[in-house]
Amino acid sequence: VQLQASGGGLVQAGGSLRLSCKVSGAIFSINTVTWHRQGPEKGRELVATLNSGGNAVYPDSMKGRFTISRDNGKNTVYLYMNNLKPEDTAVYYCAAYLKSDSVSQFEWNWGQGTQVTVSS
């Protein structure tokens, strides 16, 4: 199983980006998906969560600016980010709680990060 994040880049404050996370491999089922980020000299923080029931949860600082969604047919998770701020600069990671064909239980799988830089 692989998670491939993409869509990062350089954007001016107030701009928007859409991050994508493609989940590939022998996947039996995907339950919860999340996006995290780690800024310069900061710990990793949770940005958005989307559970199997379609319920999305965001930290207060992201509410109204970030939207997580998924396309089950494409096994792809998206993070739409609007009104970006310099403090949103970070490496963004996706993660999925999934069960692959080769294991008997759900496990968290992580993708590599994609850099988002917001200039003032």
- What pLDDT is stored for residue 91 in this prediction? 98
Question: How far is the C-alpha of 70 from the C-alpha of 41, rounded, in Å?
Answer: 30
- What pLDDT is stored for residue 70 in this prediction? 94
Question: How far is the C-alpha of 61 from the C-alpha of 104, rounded, in Å?
Answer: 37
**Other C-beta atoms lying within 10 Å of the C-beta of residue 56:** 15
- What pLDDT is stored for residue 43 in this prediction? 93
Please, what's the largest Cα pairwise distance for the chain?
A: 48
- What pLDDT is stored for residue 27 in this prediction? 84
Q: Which residues contact 41 (CB under 8 A, 6 or more apart)?
A: none
Q: Residue 38 half-sphere exposure, CB side, CA atoms within 13 Å?
A: 8
- What pLDDT is stored for residue 48 in this prediction? 97
- What pLDDT is stored for residue 106 in this prediction? 94
Listed as ranges, residues in the chain with pLDDT below 70 are none
- What pLDDT is stored for residue 92 in this prediction? 98
Q: Contact at 8 Å (CB) between 10 and 19? A: no
State the first-to-last Cα distance of the chain, in angstroms, to the nearest integer: 37
